[in-house]
Structure formats: structure tokens, C-alpha cells
Structure 1
Amino acid sequence: MQWKPNRASHLTLHEQIYDWISTRIQQGEWTIGTILPSQRKLAETLDVNRSTIIQVLDELKANGILETRIGGSTYVSNSSWNLLLQKEQANWHHHIHASIHEANIHTIQLINEYEQNQTIIRLGTGELSPDLLPTTLLEQSFRNLTIQARDISYSEPKGSKKLRIALTEYLRKRGINTSPESILITSGAIQALQLISVGLLEQQSNIFLESPSYLQSIQPFQSAGMRVFPVKRVRQLIEKLQTLKGKKQSLFYCVPTLNNPSGNILSLDERKKLLELCTSLQIPIIEDDVYHELAFVDTPPAMKSLDQAGQVIYIGSVSKTLSPGLRIGWLVAPEPVIHRLADVKMQMDYGSSGFSQQIVAHWLTTDLYEKHLEKLREQLKTRANFVIEILLQYFKEVATWETPIGGFYIWLRFNEPIVNKAFFQQLIKQNVLINPGYLYDPKDFHHIRLSYAYATLEELKEGLQLVLQVVKQKNQ
């Protein structure tokens, strides 16, 4: 055999060897019943690891092209030729599994599926109940808006100028002084993370994040080839940063105000220490601040407002406050960063919805948004108190929790490590959907992210009673 795989090819060694064996069979060089060289011989001849050969042969066997005889020999199967003719069709399963983007965690896939079921009780959903959305006021906004043709055409790369000007005024109330040129409109906060992952970082960059973290439940950085390092305390973060600094690009992601899922708020002192540390090590910070408007108490200033060196990339959104369907978020960063990410975004979607941008600009430049937030915080606080009363009445013997100080969630910790995949699926059978703790920390089998923002009060009570039943069964 003279052929060897080309290591410079865009195809993997596995794909090249699979195609080479298939072609030899298809062209009649290896006829039905032909015994293949041993795994060791193939590996030596093709100059690859034996494990690569084993994987290729296993896939060919699984596809019915090869078989194994008693005694260990591998040979061309009787049905190989017909199967290979069928293989002329596109192998979409192979394309799917070999693609760059990571699949969602299976539990997340199930959550996305079951959330479409109108009969299921959604105890973990991270969005507002339809009853909390300002549907009537939004409908009135459509009628009151004056829109010109250019407002609903493709917007400029950074997004609607009108919206970016409105955001500079709104962010000033958060202590963030910026200009329209340093703001990029995105299709929600998740797109902001995707843009950062592909537009600013090299392969194998280090992403540090608070643990538990929402970022563990989605895949934008992992799909872009980044390495994720959860840290639980500031001291542990310092040790990790100092150990890995200089080896690869690094970045720190945090939700300092109303962390998702824990609901924690970093103190002003903690924010200053983190900013000082990351600035000294030249490690950018992503500040995800999508929940701060929903706090029931006064909160410390945004880390971006303390930033004097352009160290912080700030993310905001109206998905948690106004409407997730509008798909409007924003990034605040130094102009060169915004210019780069705007260019990447134009390659992805050519701009966020013109209609949505005009609506958000209208709400920010009138008193609509502030009045809505005031009412929404009261409604969420009422819901949170309702759930806390249920927990105090029924869950004191099996779980612990902190009274929420804003946002959507109670980080409910069961005394025993029962929150595994089986627990999650057992509750689905009871028509209850939860967000288990292992989505936010793979080793966490104690917590669930309990949301009081979506289900009705009746559903919250019924769903929690069903959760309690399953917990008691597990503890017996």
C-alpha cells in the first residue's frame, strides 16, 4: 500500500481512512470476503495511531461494510457493495456530528422541547409569564410610533443610531458614561456572547466564570474551542488567573447583580477587587447585567461604571424585562472592539430587527419603560413572597434557600444529592419541568433553579407539591 492520509487536509485522519477503505471496496480492489490487514499493520502502514484505525473499523462495521469473524479477523461483508452505493447519498448524520457547534446538553434539549407543551408546569423557565408582559402597551406603541422607511431597512452595522443614543442616556443612570459609537445592538444577550467568542478570542482561550453559572448551560464558548474554568471564590479566581495568565488569552465572565442561577449580588468591595485584579493581569471582564433592573433592593454600581481602562465589556438586554420576543440586547465596549464585533455581526445576520429597535428606543425615550419596571418589580416580589411561604410551609425539612432580593429565581438546595437526570425525568412524568443544578455546575446534584416569574400562582403551588412528593419518594 502506497497511500497515506494527508495531514494537511481539511478532512480528519478518520474521514480520510474511512473514505480510502470504502473506495477500495467500491472499486472492487477488496472484494466480498477479503480479509483486511490487522489493526496494527494498518496503523503502521498508514502512520497513524492504532486507536484511529479501531474507530474507523468500528464505524465501518456499524454501517454494515465490514464484519468480524470468530477469531478476530475483519473482512468485507456480503452486503458491502449495495450499502456503499446507498452511501452515495449525503450522510447528514456524519455532517451533524462532525460540525463545529456543540449540541445543547441533553437536559436543555428536553427543556426546550417540553416548554412547548401548554399543559406542563414550568418551574425553571427563565422568562416572564405572559401575564407580566406589557402586551397592551406594546400594541399601543406600534400605533403611536412614527416610522420612516430607513428605520425598518437594514440598520448600520452597530445598530439603530436612535436606539444607541437612547441607550447612552439610559446607561448614564447606571453610572456608565459611553457614546453611541461604543455601543453595539445585538439580537439578545446570547448573541453578544457568541460575537465575543468568535470575534475576540483565539482557540483554547481560557474562560473563567463564577460557579454556579448560566454560561455552563449554553455552548457559545465551548463551540468556539474555548476552555471553561469555573471558580467559586475570589481567592480561587486569583489563583487560577495567576496560574494560567500568559499561556493563552483569558477572559472572566460574571453576572455580578442577581447571578443566574443563584441570585447573589457581589458587593462593591468584591467588584472593585475583581476589577483591580483583572486589570493588573490585563484580562477582560464580561459583565452580564441583564437582571439588575429587577432588583428589589438597592444594588452596587455596575463594574463598567468603575472601569477606567476599557477592561469591561458590558452586556444588557430587554429580554428579561420587556419582551424576549423583541430580541434586543446591547454591548458596551471600547470602539475598536465594537467595530470588530459589528463587522462579525453583519456577517451573521446583517443587523437586528428594525421594528424591534424602534420599539425599544421609543420605550427608553418615554416614561413607558421606567413605569413598567416599577410595576414589574412589585409583581415579581409578590410572586417571590408567595413561593417563599410555600417553601416555609412544606420544604423546611428537606431543603434550604435564601429569600430572593430580585430577579426570577430561588436557588433551592435539597439536603440530599437527589437532583440527577432520573429526578428531572421523573418530574416530567408528573408534568413538572425543572432546571436542575447540574446544568450550572456539572457536579451539583443538590440544587434546582426555581423560577417564580413564569408559572401562575396556582401552577407554582401545584408544581411544588409534586416536587415534594418526588423528593419524599427519593428520601425513603
Structure 2
Amino acid sequence: MMWQPIKNSSISLQRQIIHWITDQIQSGDWGVGTKLPTQRQLALQFNVNRSTIQQALEELKADGILNSTVGSGVFVANNSWNLLAKKTQPNWQKYIEESIHKPNYHTIQLINEYEQVDSVVRLGTGELSPTLLPVKKLQESLRHLSFEDKDFGYSSPQGSLKLRQALSYYLKKRGITTSPENILIVSGALQALQLMAVGLFETGSVVFQDHSSYLNSIHPFQSFGIQMKSVKRDEHLEQTLQTKKKNRQSIYYTVPTLNNPTGNVWTLDEKENLYNTCKELQIPIIEDDVYSELLFESPIPSIKSLDSSGQVLYIGSISKTLSPGLRIGWVVGPTPVINRLADIKMQMDYGSSAVSQELVTYWLTSGLYENNLIELKDHLMSRAKFVENILTEQFNSIAKWESSRGGFYIWLRFNDPIVTKEFFLKLLKRKVLINPGYIYDSEDANHIRLSYSYASLEDLKRGLIILYEESLSTIKNSCTP
């Protein structure tokens, strides 16, 4: 029996006819070049007005499924099958392009990709070398842990109470007085920033930061319509903040101890000045303090230790000091903020790993964590000196730097603005991966964030020699008329 459209269907006659014709093409019954019956014949066959057939055919021609030749008729187009295949699939590219979260810069996407390639020398990686991780001690620690059945369920909104109690005691030794109720366990410091972006800001809010900032290399705030404004911490800071803030919601983000990427360490006076200025203007502060325990010299009090009014949201983590794979960090803040962020975290992931939380609790309470810090800083100090010696031997005439005061990084500044995307790709071609300054400040063509924490000493030396060779070549070519 010949097919006919259903006249009392919720789908229009025209749409039913379009579906029928495309089915004939997709099934192969009507191959490329097949001539369709005339409009009169189709109208009779489907028992519809000729105008309905005409409208259906015009739509299929507009989509490129059919074409027509004057005097010859209507035919199945050459590319009809491919076009129909595309029409039956979601346009994922459109979904991607119109999504809320911004894509990373192409350079950072390449960094993330090539950090997984073993043959590449990683001169910029902000991560501890596997040889610096206390893997055996972590494995041994697992034998000392005991779990109840409920520990393998979902975590409580704020995280393990035992861990928050341990952190409360540990942070007090660093001058930060808090309670377990004012601590939220997160899956690393980055998640803390993401939770804040979603839970504390309105579109159009302002985040103040230094000119060279880690936040410029990721998009936890930018993707939600939050404006990033770089400011100088000079004698005009209060006026600058007031002018740029206007009537908008704002916050100041900083890594004051062993800054990422510069390695800069603020003095206590600088911390007090920022705290007092922001307090006067009622601008909260996010203190990202994940590197401070790796300071080679005597510790400097955190901004949070000065906080008497709930002005500072404090972020800590064990990713830089113990293991990034455990994915444990924390936020210290006022009760309403912690409750809000905890609620959002539960909506996102139902809590951080129970095993990781138990393991970190054990390390904090047994003294293992502090002992590990002493050993780790010795290793990092030795690595920093190793890299600085090579810089002194090779780079003195073309670049400047300051000796590392701890953490992972040396902020290498070339005398000439050679650090471009082309320079990055030239090094990558030679299997050397760098973190160029322009991913932290789009106008920076002079700096590289050198990391001495990840690559082996052999790879550090080899990578730095290649970096020196490419630097000289680029400088020479830029001087050639």
C-alpha cells in the first residue's frame, strides 16, 4: 500500500512529506541523481494540495538535499546523504562555542597536552617530581588507617570532621585561629576558586589581582562574567581600587607568599597595608597560600592571621607539599560563606575522597607532614641552586632573575621581548616545554616561569641549554635587518 500522510496528526502534512522523502534518500531507495515524481503526481499520491508539495520541495532544495533544473525536474542532490547525516546529529560545535565556560588559551592547551609526553622536558611544570613524592611513606600510612562502613559513603558537606579538627589545630601553629565549623574541605585550591565564582559573585563583579597572575592562565571567574582587573600595589592603591570598583561587587585575589608565577614574597608590612586598605573599602580578600610552607626562610605571617573581621577567605592545599593526586585543599572563612560553598560543592561532587581525607588527617596529626616539609624544602633548595648555577653560567648576558626564596619557580626575564607564541613553538619542536609569561599577562613577552620542581637534574640541564640556544638564535634573528 502506498504511503500517505496522516491528516489528523500533530505534525503538519508538509513536515510529514519532508520526513518521508528524506527517509527514501537515507535508506538508499532514492540514490544520488534520482528524479522525483512531478508535483502533480506527488499531490495525487499523498492526497494533498499541490501547494503543500511545492513548499516541502522548496525547503529540501534550500537545505541542499534536492536540486532542480528548469525543464528537467527535481533530483536528489550529490551531497544529500552527507547533509542528512549532519542534520540527524547534534551540532556539538555550536553547543561548545556557545557554552558558559571559556576555553583555555591555545598555548595552555598545548602545555596540558605535552605535559603527558614523557620525551618532553618540562621546564615550567608547577608540580612536584614523582621522585620528590613520599610514595613509600604514603603507602605505609595506609596500613595505619581504619575505616567505618560510613566512611566509604558520601562525605559530609564540609568534609571530614577529623580532618577539619586537625587543620584547625595545625593552622593555629601558623597564627590562624579558626574552628572546624569555619573550614571547608575541597578537591584542591582550584575547586575553591570555582566554588567562589559560582557561589559568591554576581555577573559584572570585579576581581582585583597582580599584573602577572595565575588567574590569567585559568578561567574560574572569567567564564561567569566576572571582570579581572590588574592593579599596582603602590601608594595610590586605595584610590585605584575605589575608582575601578565603583558600585560593583569586588574582591582582591592574591598569592602573597611565593607568588605564582613570579615567586615574589610580600613583607609583613605589604600584607598589613593590603589588609587595611581592603578593610577600609570593604573589599574581601582571597589569600591563596598553597606555596607558603615551602618558603626557604623563616615563615612570614599570612594575611589571614591579621584578620579580625572575616575579611579574608584563606585557601590552603597539600597538592604542592605532599601529593597533588590526593586532591585535598581547604577554605577558611566566615560561617555563611563556608555553608554556601559547602552547599554548592555537594551539588557538584558530593564531597572529596574519604580515603584521601583520612590519609591527610593521619599525616597532619602524626607529625609526618611537618617532617616531610623539612626534607622537601632541602630538596627544592638544592634544585633551585642547581638551576641558578646554570643560569649564571649561560644566561647572564641575555636575561635577569632573582634567586628563588622557595616554592617551585624562578621568574626569568629576558632583556629582549622574545617570548612569543613562535618562540614557545620552536622550543616545543625541540621537545622543551615552557610556561611563557604571556599566559599570565597577555602583554608580557619577556618572562618565562622556570620550574625546578619537576624535571630531573639531567633534563633541567639539557632543557636549559636548548632554551639558551633558541634564545640566542631568536635574539640574533630579531636584530638582523
Instruction: Compute the TM-score of the two structures, normalised by the length of structure 2.
Output: 0.83
Please show how residues 63-142 of structure 1 align to structure 2 within 5 Å: 83=83, 86-142=86-142
Q: CA deviation at 1:30?
A: 5.3
Moved more, 143-152 or 167-176: 143-152
Q: CA deviation at 1:32?
A: 3.9
SS in 2 for 1:144: coil
* 8 A Cα contact 1:317 1:329, kept in partner: yes
Query: Match for 1:126: what amino acid?
Result: G
Deviation per residue, 1:89-139 (Å, 9 max, x gap): 111111111111111111111011001101110000000001100001000
Answering whether residue 202 of structure 2 is matched by residue 193 of structure 1, we say no
SS in 1 for 2:375: helix
Answering whether residue 427 of structure 2 is matched by residue 427 of structure 1, we say yes
The whole-number CA distance in structure 2 between the counterparts of 1:246 and 1:406 is 37
* 8 A Cα contact 1:122 1:432, kept in partner: yes
The whole-number CA distance in structure 2 between the counterparts of 1:85 and 1:441 is 44
Q: Which residue of 2 aligns with 1:335?
A: 335
Query: Match for 1:389: what amino acid?
Result: N
Q: Which residue of 2 aligns with 1:229?
A: 229
Q: Which residue of 1 aligns with 2:295?
A: 295
Two-structure CA RMSD over aligned residues (Å): 2.1
The whole-number CA distance in structure 1 between the counterparts of 2:55 and 2:212 is 52
Query: Match for 1:239: what amino acid?
Result: Q
User: Stretches of 4+ moved more than 4 A in 1?
Assistant: 25-31, 78-82
Q: CA deviation at 1:236?
A: 5.4
* 8 A Cα contact 1:255 1:288, kept in partner: yes
Q: Which residue of 2 aligns with 1:68?
A: none
Identity of aligned residues (%): 57
SS in 2 for 1:413: strand
SS in 2 for 1:202: coil
* 8 A Cα contact 1:127 1:454, kept in partner: yes
Q: CA deviation at 1:152?
A: 2.7
- Alignment size in residue pairs: 414
SS in 1 for 2:442: coil
* 8 A Cα contact 2:293 2:299, kept in partner: no
Provide structure 2 residue ranges, at least 5 long, that are not aligned to the other structure.
1-53, 66-76, 477-481
Q: Which residue of 2 aligns with 1:43?
A: none
Q: CA deviation at 1:147?
A: 1.8
Q: CA deviation at 1:269?
A: 1.0
Answering whether residue 393 of structure 2 is matched by residue 393 of structure 1, we say yes
Q: Which residue of 2 aligns with 1:367?
A: 367
The whole-number CA distance in structure 1 between the counterparts of 2:235 and 2:252 is 14
Q: Which residue of 1 aligns with 2:43?
A: none
Answering whether residue 411 of structure 2 is matched by residue 411 of structure 1, we say yes
Query: Match for 1:268: what amino acid?
Result: L
Q: CA deviation at 1:409?
A: 0.2
Q: Which residue of 2 aligns with 1:177?
A: 177
Deviation per residue, 1:38-88 (Å, 9 max, x gap): xxxxxxxxxxxxxxxxxxxxxx9xxx89xxxxxxxxxxxx77976366323
Answering whether residue 286 of structure 2 is matched by residue 279 of structure 1, we say no
Q: Which residue of 2 aligns with 1:55?
A: none
Please show how residues 427-446 of structure 1 align to structure 2 within 5 Å: 427-446=427-446
Q: Which residue of 1 aligns with 2:16?
A: none
SS in 2 for 1:165: helix
The whole-number CA distance in structure 1 between the counterparts of 2:427 and 2:265 is 30
Q: CA deviation at 1:148?
A: 1.7
Q: CA deviation at 1:238?
A: 2.7
- CA separation of 1:213/1:27 partners in 2, compared to 1, >3 Å: closer, same or farther? farther
Moved more, 145-154 or 255-264: 145-154
Q: Which residue of 1 aligns with 2:69?
A: none
SS in 2 for 1:234: coil
Q: CA deviation at 1:26?
A: 8.9
Query: Match for 1:172: what amino acid?
Result: K
Q: Which residue of 1 aligns with 2:167?
A: 167
Q: Which residue of 2 aligns with 1:468?
A: 468
Deviation per residue, 1:380-407 (Å, 9 max, x gap): 0000001111011110001000001100
Q: CA deviation at 1:289?
A: 0.2
Q: CA deviation at 1:467?
A: 0.3
SS in 2 for 1:137: helix
Q: Which residue of 2 aligns with 1:258?
A: 258
Q: Which residue of 1 aligns with 2:149?
A: 149
The whole-number CA distance in structure 2 between the counterparts of 1:205 and 1:79 is 52
* 8 A Cα contact 1:208 1:252, kept in partner: yes
Query: Match for 1:195: what amino acid?
Result: L
SS in 2 for 1:448: strand
The whole-number CA distance in structure 1 between the counterparts of 2:226 and 2:237 is 17
Rg larger in structure? 2
- CA separation of 1:84/1:390 partners in 2, compared to 1, >3 Å: closer, same or farther? same
Q: Which residue of 1 aligns with 2:21?
A: none
Q: Which residue of 1 aligns with 2:449?
A: 449
Q: CA deviation at 1:244?
A: 3.0
Deviation per residue, 1:360-385 (Å, 9 max, x gap): 00000011001000000000000000
SS in 2 for 1:251: strand
The whole-number CA distance in structure 1 between the counterparts of 2:372 and 2:259 is 22
Q: CA deviation at 1:246?
A: 4.1
Q: CA deviation at 1:299?
A: 3.3
The whole-number CA distance in structure 2 between the counterparts of 1:219 and 1:237 is 25
Query: Match for 2:228: what amino acid?
Result: V
The whole-number CA distance in structure 1 between the counterparts of 2:113 and 2:266 is 34
* 8 A Cα contact 1:26 1:81, kept in partner: no
Q: CA deviation at 1:208?
A: 0.5
Query: Match for 1:317: what amino acid?
Result: S
